[in-house]
Amino acid sequence: MKGLLVFGVLLAAAFSQKLFVGDQVLRITASNEEQIALLRELGELEDLQIDYWLSPAQPGLPVDVRVPFHSLQAVKVFLESNTIPYTITVDDLQELLDEEKEAMMMSRKFERSSNSFSFSSYHTIEEIYSWMDNLVAENPDLVSKIQIGHSYEKRPLYVLKFSTGGVNRPAIWIDTGIHSREWITQATGLWTANKIATEYGKDASLTAILDTVDIFFEIVTNPDGFAYTHSTNRMWRKTRSINAGSSCRGVDPNRNWDAGFGGPGSSSNPCAETYHGPHPHSESEVKSIVDFVLSHGNMKALLSIHSYSQMLLFPYGYKTELAPDHQELNDLASEAVAALAALHGTKYTYGSTIDTIYRADGTTIDWSYDNGIRYSYTFELRDTGRYGFLLPAGQIISTAEETWLALMKIMEHVRDNPY
């Protein structure tokens, strides 16, 4: 382990990567609203530089926070003096990062020597884009690649289109990786895109879906952020746009949509992880999807895949009133999580965003639902906090396999319930 740590430090130095040596992740349990308020105040103390992985939402729900080594004593004293219980879930974040990096390097060596692509590993944006080109080349009658725009740093925004023909058919939109540090989502996206391409014509249900419905799939929805997680800061969540008047960069692309934009379930502070941006759709990564979806005009489902928490969420996040289709969305979510759990026993909770976790303003699925896309869902993939955003690569395949069963339930329902 010591050799691994030295290797990791040397590697980080070579690539000017942000180190997290001694940083811990704490699991906090707030028992009342007063303690929730205290935790929110703690998060606003910028000198501490803490990073909520699961934000303080409501009493009884877990709160996960990454605490830099230099702030550990202050944070623990604060929690203990306010009798807020906590446990340490990650003792040294850098150790997990070093293990993740080494696994990627070993996998890359294997892929090169065997001239293959491993779905059980994490990949860079260059590797993903290259793989997408190969998928299109190998399946020209089913898969094509569309560019819907550019990121802030001028990276192409690529979408895979799965279609068996026809014009402007009903369609399903799927995106992964809108929050760049949620690596399990892009990895699940790769496996899923491959599954769609290879199972068409073999799996009767999927074939029936694709015979009537197109699928649009954006695997790297936040390419600048994703590239930055590889080059510089593994824990980066937001876009990489420059914020006027602030040294803090980036906007939370899942608070930037025109659905309750700027409400209390987001932040007006450019340094916050949930900063909503200067105006709705200010981020080209968001605006490109908005323009594409609206111009398409026949999108019937929008599935946005995040991590972590093991949840399946549907509108609303920005208001407490039930969505007009609440009962149907709830029943379908129940079926989907039951199908998912049947494979590996992974338990998901489900419900509207605001009732299941917290108020969230300006989110993807609230925008899509408000724009007539009935089947709008957010997935929160594995796990429930043991590894958080650093899910070991050994869990990629099992995560993708179980998620596929839930996706199929939803896609079958879309196929069988035209509107």
Give the span between the Cα atoms of 333 and 314, in whole angstroms: 8
Which one is catalytic: 100, 182, 285, 380? Answer: 380
* Element holding 17 (H helix, E strand): none
Instruction: Give the C-alpha distances (Å, rounded to integers) separating 415 from 170, 206, 215, 218, 301.
Output: 9, 10, 12, 20, 10
380 in catalytic set? yes
Which of 102, 37, 48, 99 shows the shortest CA–CA distance to 72?
A: 48
Do the strands 51-54 and 62-67 form a parallel or antiparallel pair, or are they unpaired? Answer: antiparallel
Which of 240, 220, 245 shows the shortest CA–CA distance to 228?
A: 240
Identify any residues that bridge with 52 across adjacent strands, giving them in sequence order.
65
Output b/e per residue, 251-264; b: 16+ Cβ within 10 A. Answer: bbbbbbbbbbbbbe
- Angle, vertex CA 406, rays to CA 404 and CA 412, nearest 5: 95
In this structure, what token pair is assigned to residue 171?
A: 């369609």
In this structure, what token pair is assigned to residue 275?
A: 């900063």
Give the span between the Cα atoms of 75 and 86, in whole angstroms: 11
Query: Active-site positions?
Result: 380
